[in-house]
Amino acid sequence: MIERPFGPLERTVPIVGQGTWNTPTRGDRADEAKRALRRGVELGMVHIDTAEMYGDGASERLIGEAIRGLPREQLFLVSKVLPSNASYEGTLRACDASLKRLGTDYLDCYLLHWRGGVPLGETMRALERLVHDGKIRSLGVSNFDVDDLQEARTALERDPIACNQVLYHLGERTIEAHEIPYCREHQIAVVAYTPFGRGDWTDRAGVQTLERIARAHGATTRQVILAFLTRADGIFAIPKASTVAHVEENAGAGDVQLDDEEIRAIDGAFPARRRRGGLPSL
Ligand code: NDP
């Protein structure tokens, strides 16, 4: 599994992690989801993404059970505060509640889930306080455009923004135009959420290109999709999978390296909403 520096952090993080939105949290499917998370960690997908919003805390609880007994330092745990909780005191409280549900005493990164009508200055100060108190190792944001990022950077007094978690898949590539270059310039990791567009790719135009490239690598189309999205430094992807088989497939993407011709071919096959003027040099 390829690892790379995560924004300004000292540690490296594997390019493919594990999302947990809508992860089954009850019954047999929850047991399978826990096995899948552990298997993912075993295969190097130590970046686990969650949020207080997911299942109203149930996703964090499930992760807490799944990671029990694993060496904490090995993991890269990320959670998010809801805008509705993101006042100064509210953010501190929300973080404590997430830590409790996860059964850990720190998060590797803690994000504001989306901008909403949040008092950004207050929230950023609360996140800095959490870093200072050792409850989070770094702070980040999600669904931020360049204006939001600029405002957040101005509001921060000490700590840098470690990441911006954003929607990025083959059918939705608008972040290539502004957010990715901005994040690159300011050493902010870009974390691609919903990397599969939550959909089935087998009936989409362009899939033949993915299949051809997948065959050449002895890989699957989903592995090629993840390799394409994470083709440049500073970009990570967090597919969500709730079965061991899916997790194993996704982890395999971490070793697929596409050449320039393959990247150009995928770019041409999935032109939807990409930057005008062709493939940006990421
Ligand atoms: P994804 O694009 O990751 O798609 C998830 C779907 O793909 C699930 O149905 C899953 O099935 C299926 N899948 C995963 N791997 C495979 C595979 N190898 N073969 C076949 N099917 C597969 O969508 P998400 O929206 O879940 O995004 C990923 C994560 O990003 C979220 O879980 C969450 O952590 C984060 N996110 C963050 C947001 C934000 O606002 N910050 C918003 C949305 C997502 P199955 O479950 O059966 O394995």
In a domain, 107, yes or no: yes
Cβ atoms 111, 163 nearer than 8 A: yes
Give residue 240 CA to ligand 1 midpoint distance, Å.
Answer: 3
Instruction: Answer whether residue 247 shows pLDDT above 90.
Output: yes
pLDDT at 271: 78
What pLDDT, on a 0 to 100 scale, did the predictor assign at position 120? 95
Position in ligand 1 atom list of the atom nearest CA 250: 18
The DSSP code for 246 is H
Known binding residue 132? Answer is no
Residue 64, domain member (yes or no):
yes
Domain count, the chain: 1
Which residues are bridge partners to 167 per DSSP?
193
Residue 54 appears among annotated catalytic residues: yes
Please report whether residue 106 resides in a domain: yes
**Atom of ligand 1 at shortest distance to CA of 220?**
18
Nearest CA to ligand 1 atom 26: 240
Which residue bears the tokens 């189309």? 221
pLDDT at 196 exceeding the cut of 90: yes
CB 1 within 8 A of CB 14: yes
Q: Is 103 within a domain?
A: yes
pLDDT tens-digit series, residues 11-39? 999 999 999 999 999 999 999 999 999 99
Q: For position 160, what pLDDT does the model report?
A: 98
User: What confidence score (pLDDT) does residue 203 get?
Assistant: 65
Listed residue (63, 74, 58) closest to 11, CA to CA: 74
Nearest ligand 1 atom to alpha carbon 197: 2
Show the ligand 1 pocket: residues with CB < 6 angstroms. Answer: 19-21, 49, 113-114, 142-143, 165, 193-198, 222, 238-243, 246, 249-250
Q: What is the CATH number of the domain that holds 162?
A: 3.20.20.100
Query: What would the pLDDT profile of 126-159 be if each residue is shown by its tens digit?
Result: 999 999 999 999 999 999 999 999 999 999 999 9
Among the residues of the chain, which ranges form H helices?
27-42, 58-67, 88-102, 120-132, 146-155, 179-185, 207-217, 221-229, 244-252, 260-269
Residue 80 lies inside a defined structural domain of this protein: yes
Its domain, for residue 75, covers: 12-206+234-255
Residue nearest to atom 30 of ligand 1 (CA): 193
Mean per-residue pLDDT over the chain, rounded: 94
Contact status, residue 217 vs residue 185, Cβ threshold 8 Å: no
Q: Could you tell me if 66 and 58 are in contact, meaning their C-beta atoms sit under 8 angstroms apart?
A: no
Asked whether the beta carbons of 52 and 94 are under 8 A apart, the reply is yes
CB atoms inside a 10 Å sphere around CB 76: 24
The amino acid occupying position 247 is: V
Is 108 a domain residue? yes
Residue 70 sits at φ, ψ, to 5 deg, of -80, 150
Task: Write the ipTM.
Answer: 0.99
The SS3 assignment for 76 reads: strand
Angstrom distance (rounded) from CA 128 to CA 151: 15
The answer to whether residue 31 is domain-embedded is yes
Is 70 exceeded by the pLDDT of residue 261?
yes
Does residue 2 lie in a domain region? no
Distance 198 CA to ligand 1 centre (A): 6
